[in-house]
Chain A
Amino acid sequence: MSAPESLPQDLTDLYRDSNVSSVLEALERELIGLAPVKTRVREIAALLLVEKLRRSVGLEAGAPSLHMSFTGNPGTGKTTVALRMAQMLHALGYSRKGHLVAVTRDDLVGQYIGHTAPKTKEVLKRSMGGVLFIDEAYYLYRPENERDYGQEAIEILLQVMENQREDLVVILAGYKDRMDRFFSSNPGMASRIAHHIDFPDYDEGELFAIAQLMLAKMQYRLDAGAEAALHEYIARRKAQPHFANARSIRNALDRARLRQANRLFEQRGARLTRDALMTITAPDIRASRVFEQKGETP
């Protein structure tokens, strides 16, 4: 009868020693909402920590496949999460360098015969040791043109995704419905991707929290009137077409900064305070064209 063997390190130590905790905390702090995404990221972190511990006692299971697909509407934080993911994988020792290479179809697919393979391979070589983020990946496959070179890029990608799993992690991103169509026409791709993560749209409260976070980062603040105006702005903007979640909010804030600067410039002569330079007021937001069309839009 042997006593149960105790491990040289336990998970708490490992969690503390790797700086994955700081990455996870940053994810929690800097990203509003996205509960399913955060859960999955934590699961992956746990898997990799346990895997590290298993390796330290000689249990081998081979590198887990970590290729991912991020689906969601524009502005839901796919690129940001991919960046965090790269940092986390680096902190956990899964990827050696932890950099993110963000590409689109143009970077992978060539224009004539024989152009695609070197181009795709070059991108793959650049992203080795880190994460390759392919935005709007469904453009790689164009079923309407059977001589499209996208298929060639997909084949090279698949080969590397299978054979050099320890060298790079591929993240495909795009709108949900188009990605679903992409995967159904490329079953090889779908089966090599272990994690399908769906990014939900933000609700109004989350969008407001995001706005405040962005403002705090840029060292601005809203006065009471502006807060009410921004709430109203978000509700109106959300109902309009081409709403891109956090991206629309960022654009709205950039325009509000523009108006604030203009307002301050027009009252030049008056003495400015530090507070005035920081404050965005209700008129800065209400001047937006979102407030113009009252009830006219269907």
Chain B
Amino acid sequence: MIHVENISKHYGSTQALEAIDFQIEKGTCFGLVGPNGAGKSTLMKILSGILLDFEGDIRVGEWKVSKDRSTIKQQLGYIPQDICLEETLTAYDNLFLFGNLYGLRRKELNPRMDEVLEQVGLTDRAKDKVVTFSGGMKRRLNIACALLHKPEIIIMDEPTVGIDPQSRNSIFALIHHLKKTGRTIIYSSHYMEEVEQLCDSIGLIDKGKLVEYGDMQSLLDKYRKPSLFISGVQITPEVLRSFGDVEEKGNGYLLNSSQPLLTLRDLVNYCHEQNLNPRRLELYHPRLEDIFFHLTGTELRNA
């Protein structure tokens, strides 16, 4: 269990984080989301032991970051957003470097290098220079470097940026496997559908504060408003307003109603009478992305 206790961080007069408090259950995946400049990166730096001067504390099991930093770091595997590899060296060289940084000796490191390479599907490229790898392969090796020492906690900062669907799927499969083996994962991403798919709980940060936190399903239920989605039909918003509250969404409209099934029936009847054939007319369940926009707004962030 990880306890993040009342963490605050200032950069000069700017408050980057304010009294952040949450817990993460062992063996679960915790999603950390927030707009740019929300304080997410600062929190990730604190969680991964890069930023040392902050207020509050983090407890990992019986250890406290303020007292047992080195012990906790040994339990951490940090996968940064940027691909941090020595590109002119081979995959083996990179793994050897990171294995050594986590204190692994050659005898235990050699078989571990082969194991993690197999886990990320790079066994046949072990002796090739990283500069010859595709973006997806580099991302997978980036992850492998953090898994060598079998960390209990894995911190992933946007691990799927700029990669092909195959590599993304392979990373998702690896995350599911890691969860099954009892690893705790802290996952940060701007891709809400990924977070929704992978994470058991989330923390949403905005303007340095934790604006929402909890179990993923409970959170989705909390913000679940009955609504309908209609698209691909020539109905004006004015007409739709006679059925309920209307808001534009993508290439269609979201129709909020207290009785969505009855409204759906009425809409079907209306379309039938008017000889209209909507491309989509369905009950709509809010996604994490809707909650994200609801809580953080849709205006652009320049931070």
Do these two chains really belong together in a complex?
no
Interface residues of A (CB under 8 A from B): none
